[in-house]
Structure 1
Amino acid sequence: MTELKILAISGSLRADSHNTALLHAARALAPAGVTVEIYEGLGEVPPYRQDLDTPAVRPAVVQDLRDRITAADGLLIATPEYNYSIPGVLKNALDWVSTDWTRTEGVPLLRKPVAITGAAPSNFGSARAQLALRQVFVCTDSDVVVKPEVIVFRSHERLDASGQLVDETTRELLQGLLGALLVKAEAHAEARLLTAA
């Protein structure tokens, strides 16, 4: 397997976020040869404005996110559930990275391998948020992992006080999700090498 880079994005800005903790667990579970980079700039991404969405005037933090997604072999997104859907900050960031108005730079999310997970303290976890997020990725034509679905319900029972994922079933599911993403990411990386050759 080639060296793979996965960009992980948490849809939560909360300091002790269970979703961010899931991404840290995924990073720890990643096999040799795989780097999981956790993106920390979500709260800095400004509200989407089409007038600013060109290479000449795009905010630097947005261009940085676009560049990171373009360079990554795959995305791992952990989302909480707000009002039966995804947080506004996450949707906003995805809006910024799903465009190419000038038709010169490419769309970072186009055919990008993506895996989705999410945690919430409720009995339903983030099931509805994940469904809404999958719908967004239909529009962007991203290559989304279908199985396994990792919906971490009653998340406060699966993480300890320090944010460590201690539930073995959840660890196994998360490892399976990461494995499925890596299969897609490896194929994506090989295709990029062939295109560049």
Structure 2
Amino acid sequence: MSVRVLAFVGSLRAGSHNRQLAEAAVKHAPEGVEIEIFEGLADVPFYNEDIDVAGDVPAAAVKLREAAGAADAFLLFSPEYNGTITAVLKNTIDWLSRPYGASAFTGKPVSVVGTAYGQFGGLWAQDETRKAVGIAGGVVLEDAKLSVPGSVVRFADLHPQDDDEIAEQLPLVLAKIAAAVAAVPAA
């Protein structure tokens, strides 16, 4: 049986290096780990409890929650905007943390990785993302991290999937996610 990992990319930009990093995760996933990059985060409205009403939840949010419900684990790709988490990634966490007491993250392993232009590779934003998803009920894997600095220069002419460090490190992160899923007691 394959471990189903749902990936969320915190950048909507077409040429996003974090999107490319997610594509690298798909390519370098170890056997038995299936990565699905969720498409459609741009369509999910900002979280508002007034529109999160049973039977009337926006279709894009329903699609997001259904995909999250089918996942065994999550892999979040967090760039860093102004030193913190992006709005699109925070919005994703907010929608999946609701309704209160029924978070899609509850009890599921979550790893946060990413790349950014700065010398720390978006570490601040990734730490904030871990904090938010942990509060939302996710089992944050503190030992399954990857922060890649200097994205604009490093990936100017090289796709992350062709980067030796990425090809070595991403499968290790994914193996830790798979091990964490295997350690979760069956419901």
The TM-score range, normalised by the shorter chain, is over 0.9
Structure 2 alignment gaps of length 5 or more: none
* Partner residue of 1:147 out of 137, 143, 147: 143
Pair 1:7-2:6 in alignment: yes
> 2 CA distance for matches of 1:108 and 1:135?
16
Greater Cα offset, 65-74 or 140-149:
140-149
Q: Give, as a single letter, the amino acid of the residue that structure 1 aligns with 2:105.
A: L
Q: Give, as a single letter, the amino acid of the residue that structure 2 aligns with 1:98.
A: S
Q: Give, as a single letter, the amino acid of the residue that structure 2 aligns with 1:11.
A: G
> 2 CA distance for matches of 1:28 and 1:120?
21
- Post-superposition Cα deviations, 1:131-161, rounded to whole Å, max 9, x if no partner, equal 1111102211211111142101012344353
Alignment RMSD: 1.7
Structure-to-structure mapping, 1:164-179, within 5 angstroms: 164-179=160-175
Tell me the CA shift for residue 171 of structure 1.
2.4
> 2 CA distance for matches of 1:150 and 1:162?
18
Give % identity.
35
> 2 CA distance for matches of 1:177 and 1:63?
29
Greater Cα offset, 92-101 or 162-171:
162-171
* Partner residue of 1:185 out of 156, 181, 184: 181
TM-score where L is the length of structure 1? 0.88
Query: Does the CA-based 8 Å contact 1:159-1:165 persist in structure 2?
Result: no
Pair 1:41-2:40 in alignment: yes
> 1 CA distance for matches of 2:160 and 2:133?
29
TM-score where L is the length of structure 2? 0.92
* Partner residue of 1:132 out of 106, 118, 128: 128
Q: Give, as a single letter, the amino acid of the residue that structure 1 aligns with 2:178.
A: L
